[in-house]
A and B are shown apart, each in its own frame.
Chain A
Amino acid sequence: MSDTLQKSSDIDLDKRPENGRATAIKSRLTSWDSIILVLTVLVLIVASFSVENFGTSRNFTFMVLDLLPIILIALPMTMIIVTGEIDLSVASTLGLTSSMMGWLWNQGLSIETIIPLCVVIGAICGVVNGFLITGLGLPSLAVTIGTLALYRGLAFVVLGDGAVADFPWNYTGWVTGTIGGGAVPNVLILIVVLALIFGIVQHATPFGRSLYAIGANAQAAHFSGIRVARTKFWLYVVSGAVAGLVGVLWTLRYSSARADNGSGLELAVVAAVLLGGVSIFGGKGSLPGVLAGVVLLTALQNALRLEDVSGQALNIVTGSLLVLSVLLPNITTAVRGNYHRRRLRQAASR
């Protein structure tokens, strides 16, 4: 994102403004997040025509439910990766809140108390990450690999390998149900509302812009008055809280609180975010691209499952897309660079 802006403003200086705008639009259209958006729409169209039962409202509900955990966790994860950090502990936070939910329910607390409590527990997990990373200045990759093990371990300490399953039906039913029994799943409202909030914050507020500044150059951001450490700290807290919320939703969806709920989900989320065009080095990427990435992965998985292709074989597609999402832009840049240099050399020899 910031790179695109940078490039177009450079061009504005020595070319006519219309030309600059055209270039900006062109680079916008050929950027990875637009490609992924088009790809997603294509997959959805092709799948609804060629895959039996893909377009049914029942399948749509299933797809949204499969989408739910990855898309919600991806919202704060996008911001974190844009600032150049990472949070690998999210799935374990989900597991810990799921465990705590089961344990608290066994203690006889009401579900209305448990749900906010679980979100708070998630936020506390985020506080620990945030403190270790911004307070002590430790590398986020290593810290969150550590808390990945720690939170998952605590989840097992809380609940062992048992499960708690007797959650009230009106809550589990709400998560899997649709609005008025129609085609729109209840949780879709939640996804839309949260995506809108995160989207506006990331793309239309000074705070959102500051995330890109931090990711592009943390030191420069610091000297221009952005509170780098504090911003990152709160991102981790939000990430933890959202993971906690997803822990609750996951538990209610399957009506089962287990310590191993959502294990391995962190890699799927990171893969979706990177697939959506966010740079692992920070400073680049957009939320629409990420949302498209998540939808693409889920739709592919769903369509292949309906076609009786093993979901595990889809891993090949996921992995290849992930690598290609970074490789292709690199190749085009290299080719463009070569072309540019040749032009310069020709101009010099003339």
Chain B
Amino acid sequence: MTTLSLHAPAKNLLKTRELGIVLALALLIAYTAIDNPRFLSGQSIRDNLLNTAILAVMATGQAVVVITRNIDLSVGSVLGISAFTVATMMSANPGLPMIVALLAGLAVGAVAGLVNGVLVRFGKVPALVVTLGTLYIYRGITYSWAGGSQVNADELPRHFLTFANDNLLGIPWLVLIALIVVGTGSLMMRNYRVGRELYAMGSSPAAAELAGIKVARNLLGAFVLSGALAGLAGVLYAARFGTVDAAAGNGMELNVVAAVVVGGVAVFGGSGSVWGAALGALLLTVIGSALAVLDINQFWQQAIVGALIILAICADRLVAVRIARSLRKRDAHV
């Protein structure tokens, strides 16, 4: 009972955290649409969603990892290795159906994630160090494999390339996959035992271990998920852009971490949500296209993203301070 009543204010405050992103998004869209109504046209919305999809898929995996008080910096390199593997495979065997490509990407990513997870858990190496190391290793493997070569769009089968633009009930596949990933991820983290255990691990790793949570299994799972989703993002990347070289997804890890942090997942774990991270990805993407529509110098985009990240951390800090205060008040009454 007491734990429940203690959780209620914390939960409410966190809800307002995601509400903040929704409001910011609504404001941005409204302002841009008033300036240029074409911003709300079907094509523009479609473009924005397509551009968000890959980032949102990766942000889902990253959010799960960050919630456990870890980080996965290797996602950009995993995207690269998966995109190149799948593109090479598809150009060599044009007959393979799309589902095989998707599964291959997921598998490549899952293996990469498993290596990260094993090193973090059993090597007792901090996640920041491991994934910084594998960021280099996976990228290096891709480079020494690909060299300067690239897979061009004309070498890839048609059904692979049209996948990015094909629709199901008017929704592009890319967006649909992102929605499924984000939806499933949110549901798992919110309503399922394993999700709540991941939050517990992030709040207090030692306490989670003592409470009998299977920390090793969950942690490996989180890294495998993050890797697999980065691998999936690699397939989507290859399908959307058609041209894949060894540099695909270079530096992407920072965008993903930015989306997660802006989306309200605290870097010290234990709070935030997957759908918040997806909203963060959407917000970052919409800012980019809004700047273009508003005819503001594109070069401002990165600076604004940076400012947003800092604002988001300040907001998290504020929430944390308010929770601490309300908890203290409660204790004083008892």
A positions within 8 Å CB-CB of B? 132, 136-139, 141-143, 145-154, 156-157, 160-161, 259, 263-264, 267, 270-271, 274, 280-281, 310, 312-320, 322-323, 326-327, 330-331
Contact = CB atoms under 8 A, between A and B. Distances in A.
A323 B140 contact: no
Given A136-B317, A330-B123, A320 B303 contact: no
Pairs A-B, 9 closest by C-beta atoms:
A150-B306, A153-B303, A315-B140, A319-B136, A153-B302, A149-B306, A146-B309, A312-B143, A316-B140
Contacts of A143: 310, 313
B17 interface: no
Contacts of A136: 314, 317
A229 to B, nearest CB: 15
B129 interface: yes
A28 B211 CA distance: 39
Interface stretch (B35-43, B102-110, B182-190, B253-261): B253-261
Contact of B302 (A152, A274, A317, A323): A152
B137 A320 contact: yes
Given A312-B139, A330-B124, 4 more contacts: A136-B314, A152-B306, A319-B136, A322-B129
B100 interface: no
Given A145-B254, A146-B309, A326-B126, A313 B303 contact: no
Nearest to B300: A157
A308 to B, nearest CB: 12
Contacts of A312: 139-140, 143-144, 246
Given A312-B139, A315-B139, A153 B314 contact: no
Contact of B267 (A141, A152, A316, A331): A141
Contacts of A310: 143-144, 147
B251 interface: yes
Contacts of A316: 136-137, 140-141, 144
Interface in B291-308: 297, 299-308
A281 B129 CA distance: 11
A151 to B, nearest CB: 7
8 contacts: A132-B313, A141-B71, A152-B302, A160-B297, A280-B126, A313-B144, A315-B139, A326-B123
B119 interface: yes
B216 interface: no
Contacts of A149: 254, 258, 302-303, 305-306, 309
A320 B306 contact: no
Nearest to B124: A330
A142 B138 CA distance: 24
B133 interface: yes
Given A136-B314, A146-B306, A157-B300, A264 B251 contact: yes
Contact of A145 (B307, B309, B314): B309
Interface string B136-175: 1111110110010000000000000000000000000000
B178 to A, nearest CB: 23
Interface string B112-127: 0000000100011110
Contacts of B128: 141, 280
B87 interface: no
A335 to B, nearest CB: 13
B251 to A, nearest CB: 7
B27 interface: no
B279 interface: no
Nearest to A141: B267
Contacts of B301: 153
A271 B73 CA distance: 13
Contact of B313 (A139, A264, A322): A139
